[in-house]
Structure 1
Amino acid sequence: MMELVLMDNLWVVIGTFLVLLMLGGFILLEAGSTRMKNAGHIAGKTIFTAGIGSLVFWAVGYGFIYGEGNWFIGLSNFFYGDTSFSGDGLSPAVDFMFQMMFALIALTIAFGGFAERAKLSAYVIFAVLFSALVYPVVAHWIWGGGWLADHGKQDFAGSTVVHLTGAMAALAATIILKPRIGKYNKDGSSNALAGHNQVYLALAVLLLWVGWFGFNGASTFGVGDAFFGFVILNTQLAAAAGAVAALFVAWIVTGKADVPTMLNGALAGLVAITASCGFVDPWAAVIIGLIGGIMVFYSMRFFEKMKIDDPIAALSVHGTVGIWGTISTGFFATESLSVGAEWGLPGLFYGGSLEQLGVQVLGVVSSGAYAFVVSFIILKVMDKVMGLRVSEEEEIVGLDLSEHGSYGYPENIPNPDEKQGA
């Protein structure tokens, strides 16, 4: 028995490492999707804000999610320090660390809406406020025993809690910051401010894909029945279907097999299956991922048409597809998996009832609205008080130099002391 408990703890620790590694994927994803003059800034701010997010989660975030409280928020376990281990179940420290990683991923997604135009100080302050006031509230509602948990809201690993919450904050930031210089012309047409490295994008997706096996798989919190293998299978199938679907829809519509669209399709499949990976059969995982891959293509075109500048495609990959992933359990959740997990009811295609589908829609609307409104208010106040956006000159020069005084690719800056041809 003790050996099994230790294996459970080891599996969740491995999952923690894999989810933390996803931050490396996000660094490459964001850097590759943007211009090289901002690459060093993107890498540095991701690590720095992850540090801030970790400290805030330790101080208040975990307590707001899992502390004893009410339907809205937890109100205990602040400045977490429970290192006890009874030999029965997960060590509190192991569980705490795993939950922290999800908070950091949500924060990283939110910062997709800041890309190439926000001050470093804006990242610092918003990291504190998002990690304390936005993410923990939604997480408490669904995972911490709040009001949506009481209604049986299904979100196995976070299509709503992590991805939609982060995307709604990114949407608020994108609206307030406005498009990057040169993105849109006076006649309403747009310019492609292409990312500087598609190889980074492909490597980013591979890192995220592998990390997702910990993200979803370790959300089983144990190895005893090997259910984590089933969850990982569903994760793999959905990602594969999303990549293939996005590539073919782009190829058919535009005549070109667009690489970034295909890569975003893989991520869309991963986001889509995150809510349902423990509740649906493999064939449904393929359908969920395939629809996610198609949706991300049309969603990116929609936001472009609406003049919402989203260089990382955070709104489409994590927002639009996060909504679909959450709602999909209301259709595809099987009786054996959902009821067996004591979490919600079967989906419409199995139980014939609209109840679970209604709960999923309620969760999307309420959680998405809360994350957007609170983030918008926070960012609007910050903009009035300190300003969110760098100056036009700083944006043109690039945030590497204007914010940090050094360049991510220093060999590309001419050295005035170096003789021509030397």
Structure 2
Amino acid sequence: MEDVIELAYALDTFYFLLSGALVMWMAAGFTMLEAGMVRSKNTTEILTKNVGLYSIAVIMYMLIGWNLMYESDGGLFGLLPSFSFLLPASEPFTAEMARAGEVDASYFSDFFFQVVFVATAMSIVSGAVAERMKLWAFLIFAVVLTGLIYPIQGLWSWGGGFLDELGYSDYAGSGIVHMAGASAALAGVLLLGARKGKYGPGGQVRAIPGANLPLAALGTFILWLGWFGFNGGSELSVSSADAANAVATVFMNTNLAAAGGVIASLLLARALFGKADLTMALNGAIAGLVSITAGPDTPSPLLAATIGGIGGVLVVFSIVALDKLRIDDPVGAISAHGTAGIWGVLAVLLSNDEATVTGQLAGLGAIFGFVFISSLIVWGVLKITIGIRASEEDERNGLDVSECGMEAYPDFTGARAK
């Protein structure tokens, strides 16, 4: 019997690690998507931001974030974490504990799986503030979001806090990860302002095409693949028949929702604009994935595709609406992760009998309110101290040279100059 339990421990540990690696690969997806959706003169800066934010997230979650979120025993009144620092110096779970069935998987494998979620939330911010934010202001904000803001609101639900007590249900993080990232992004965009030339004096919306749509499409497919680890790994186990069946359901529904999002956004774009808009289709895929993330384990296949399809419709309308409000989001991140994230949290009610309207609304309100307000404060402090917006000249010339001292496509830009 001990051998069976030990084998289950090893299998679930391996599943955590494999799922975490898939989610880590989503960092490449966000990087490629954003690099494809911005102008060539800002590509190197986007790449630097993404590799930097991922590394900051890993270190900050090791230093303090993990302890705030999961070692606070639900927090004071389910709200305030206890402060402690650093992971254990060595794996705290022993082979004897595994054989006795006292623990389900390696402590460090759980940390690895959770830390890549933190980086995902911060990646959402990167695309929304692209092409006009100072690099170092962004990276400083990444320190605060990944070390403090994300873990505190994560404590409220996944860490056994008050939202968990209220019955808030969010399987893999439509609200906890995606809406949280979009809320932080919205706060930054409001203080940052739009890119120069994006909006005309009469309210016209001027398209600013991305430099590399093949790269953006590749990034979306990478995200789609990584999402199987994001949602599938959130089952937290694969070592029993029931767990394996649940994982298969999650994979299937995740895939169906993404496909539904693409088809719905393509059809709506055709109806609204008369063309098959690739950028809307790419955001439709992401919106479908975000929409199913809060509850991929309970819908039927048809309902999963429908949930994703509704997400695909919402993201198109949301992108258009934000442009009308002159809220400039170069990659559509606020819509794909925020608007679709809200829908995903509410969509849980369609198939999960244990979820309640009160619990889901409380989760949405608490997460958005805390992340938006705290992010607004941090962005505001950065704005009045070191500044968050690049100069008009740097924005015109591109952030690659001013922030990184190199161009992503020097041969191409040199040839064009000649």
CA contact (8 A) 1:65 1:73 kept: no
Partner of 2:288: 269
Provide the C-alpha distance between the structure 1 equivalents of 2:363 and 2:140, rounded to a whole number of angstroms. Answer: 28
Match of 1:321 among 328, 340, 345: 340
One-letter amino acid of the counterpart of residue 375, structure 1: S
Provide the C-alpha distance between the structure 2 equivalents of 1:290 and 1:45, rounded to a whole number of angstroms. Answer: 31
Q: Deviations over 1:134-193 (max 9, x none)?
A: 111111111001100011110000000100000000001111110001111112212111
Provide the C-alpha distance between the structure 1 equivalents of 2:158 and 2:79, rounded to a whole number of angstroms. Answer: 12
Match of 1:133 among 148, 151, 156: 148
Partner of 2:42: 38
Provide the C-alpha distance between the structure 1 equivalents of 2:209 and 2:258, rounded to a whole number of angstroms. Answer: 24
Provide the C-alpha distance between the structure 1 equivalents of 2:254 and 2:208, rounded to a whole number of angstroms. Answer: 32
Match of 1:78 among 81, 85, 99: 85
Q: Deviations over 1:42-99 (max 9, x none)?
A: 1111111211111111111011111123211332552012512332311000001100
Residue 41 of structure 1, CA deviation: 0.9
Answering whether residue 132 of structure 2 is matched by residue 117 of structure 1, we say yes
Answering whether residue 171 of structure 2 is matched by residue 163 of structure 1, we say no
TM-score by length of 2: 0.93
Provide the C-alpha distance between the structure 2 equivalents of 1:36 and 1:413, rounded to a whole number of angstroms. Answer: 9
Provide the C-alpha distance between the structure 2 equivalents of 1:407 and 1:377, rounded to a whole number of angstroms. Answer: 33
Answering whether residue 403 of structure 2 is matched by residue 398 of structure 1, we say no
Partner of 1:211: 226
Unaligned runs of 5+ in 2: none
Match of 1:195 among 204, 210, 224: 210
Count the aligned residue pairs: 399
Provide the C-alpha distance between the structure 2 equivalents of 1:138 and 1:330, rounded to a whole number of angstroms. Answer: 22
Partner of 1:408: 408
Provide the C-alpha distance between the structure 2 equivalents of 1:274 and 1:136, rounded to a whole number of angstroms. Answer: 19
One-letter amino acid of the counterpart of residue 295, structure 1: L
- The secondary structure found in structure 2 opposite 1:297 is helix
Provide the C-alpha distance between the structure 2 equivalents of 1:304 and 1:124, rounded to a whole number of angstroms. Answer: 26
Provide the C-alpha distance between the structure 2 equivalents of 1:399 and 1:372, rounded to a whole number of angstroms. Answer: 26
Residue 280 of structure 1, CA deviation: 2.4
Residue 132 of structure 1, CA deviation: 2.2
Partner of 1:60: 64
Provide the C-alpha distance between the structure 1 equivalents of 2:126 and 2:379, rounded to a whole number of angstroms. Answer: 12
Residue 40 of structure 1, CA deviation: 1.0
Partner of 1:96: 111
Structure 1 segments, 4+ long, off by >6 Å, are: none
Partner of 2:252: 233
Residue 381 of structure 1, CA deviation: 1.0
- The secondary structure found in structure 1 opposite 2:304 is helix
Answering whether residue 299 of structure 2 is matched by residue 280 of structure 1, we say yes
Unaligned runs of 5+ in 1: 336-344, 347-355
CA contact (8 A) 2:129 2:330 kept: no
Q: Deviations over 1:275-313 (max 9, x none)?
A: 011232222211210100110110000001000000110
One-letter amino acid of the counterpart of residue 92, structure 2: S
Identity %: 39
CA contact (8 A) 2:203 2:324 kept: no
Provide the C-alpha distance between the structure 2 equivalents of 1:111 and 1:370, rounded to a whole number of angstroms. Answer: 20
TM-score by length of 1: 0.92
Residue 391 of structure 1, CA deviation: 0.5
Q: Deviations over 1:83-138 (max 9, x none)?
A: 12332311000001100000010011122232111111111210111112211111
CA contact (8 A) 1:66 1:74 kept: no
Provide the C-alpha distance between the structure 1 equivalents of 2:80 and 2:43, rounded to a whole number of angstroms. Answer: 37
Partner of 1:252: 271
Provide the C-alpha distance between the structure 2 equivalents of 1:407 and 1:374, rounded to a whole number of angstroms. Answer: 34
CA contact (8 A) 2:49 2:126 kept: no
